[in-house]
Amino acid sequence: MCSGLLFFWTPVAAGTHISVICRSVASTAATAGNAQVIVRSMNTASSAANQDSSILAALTLRRVMVAIVLAVSVAAALNPLFVTPFIVLLGRTLVIAMVLLVVFIAAGLWRQTWLPMWMVRVFAVALAAPVATFVVYLPAVGGDVSAVLAHEGRVSGFILIAGCSLVIGPLLALGAMYRERDLQVRSQLLQFALERSTLERQALDARLQLLHAQIEPHFLFNTLANVQALVESGSPQAPAVLKSLIAYLRAAMPRLNDEQATLGQEVHLVRAYLELMHMRMPDRLAFDVAVPQDLMALRFPAMALLTLVENAIRHGIDPSEQGGRIDVGAVREGSSVVRLWVADTGVGMDDKAVPGTGLSNLRARIKAFFGDAARFELQEQSPHGLRAELVLPLSTDTAFR
């Protein structure tokens, strides 16, 4: 192309410029070609390095030990048939075993679609067995192939060792692939179980968040309604009660979604709430909170105990003309169960009454937090009143902080 342009463009300067341009283009093309060759070489080297690292990773200690044990066993079994010293025979079987192991691993890394992988690996081991056996005989004759074939004893030994390799090698390859498939199935089952557990946990977290969103307004609106009634009635205790309520809410609000809440923190909030309610109706409410110190570190759903106490006041103490008493307690039963209760001496539960949103959501929260073994029971007290009881199983996930 350059010579043709120079033929039609006679000025020397123009020819000089074009020749320079042609040389630049040729140089650029050569550089680009060299760059492509370098990139292909780098990719090839990278693939080879990755394959080598994969082979080394698959060459586990267990596989090497199995190959060594089999090589020793074959050498010991064939030793009476050979005049060759045992150490030489053992060296040959060890080399053959290692070669077949590497071939088995390398064949497993070959990605092709026209043959099943198990067939490729078995054929590779079967083909490598006689080749490896022949190669281990060459050092004894200085690499002279004809010397191996001309000696009847060496030919017989070659046939014996190659025959054993052809039988044992593919059988072991099939066994190893069966074990690999079994391990893959187990790994997939474990992975599926882990994913299912993760999804269940996410669903549980979403459910708990929804329950929190329903419970928190329920409690806050009920409390504010009580304060509103007190203020509207003109009670002189209204300012003190409102001040206590503000202090209480200031302490409680950061914990509404606390996943690491403890029973001790709940007891502290319940006692503050009962003191607040006692200020509102000092002549109609008495209470006692008795929770053992060794249970204070028990993980417990935030605001759950408070929901029971608030329910006892609203549906038990408030409707009663004489008021009543609320007792909060807990006890450990053995090493795996904690029993917690809130009992009141109020009007009790109407036979036709249906548990409200607060208690229904609380029951769901307890089940979600402690598992299906947890129980939430409501029992009538004699002569009147209601006892709400939680029976909580202890586990490593929901025990103590």
Cα 155 to Cα 382: distance, rounded to the nearest angstrom: 102
Mean pLDDT of 184-196: 85
CA angle 136, 139, 144 (to 5 degrees): 105
pLDDT in tens, 343-369: 999 988 765 555 666 778 888 888 888
Distance of CA 281 to the CA centre of its chain: 53
Asked if residue 245 lies in contact with residue 227, where contact means CB atoms within 8 angstroms, the answer is: yes
Task: State residue 1's pLDDT score.
Answer: 38
| Residue 388 to residues 264, 273, 311, 353, 363, Cα–Cα distance (Å) | 19, 18, 10, 15, 11
* CB atoms closer than 10 angstroms to residue 346: 25
Q: What is the token pair recorded at 374?
A: 């947890």
What is the DSSP pairing of strand 337-344 with strand 324-333? Answer: antiparallel
pLDDT in tens, 26-71: 444 444 444 444 335 444 444 544 555 577 777 788 888 888 998 8
DSSP result, 368-379: HHH-TT-EEEEE
Could you tell me which residues are beta bridge partners of residue 290? 329
What proportion of the chain, given as a percentage, has pLDDT over 90? 16
Asked if residue 63 lies in contact with residue 101, where contact means CB atoms within 8 angstroms, the answer is: yes
Task: State residue 391's pLDDT score.
Answer: 94
Look at 80 and 34; give whichever has higher pLDDT: 80
Torsion angle, alpha carbons of 389, 390, 393, 396, to 10: -140
Cα 3 to Cα 18: distance, rounded to the nearest angstrom: 10
Give the global pTM.
0.44
Annotate 205-251 with three-state secondary structure: HHHHHHHHHHHHHHHHHHHHHHHHHHHHCCCCCHHHHHHHHHHHHHH
Asked if residue 394 lies in contact with residue 337, where contact means CB atoms within 8 angstroms, the answer is: yes
Packing angle, helices 263-280 and 304-312, rounded to 10: 30
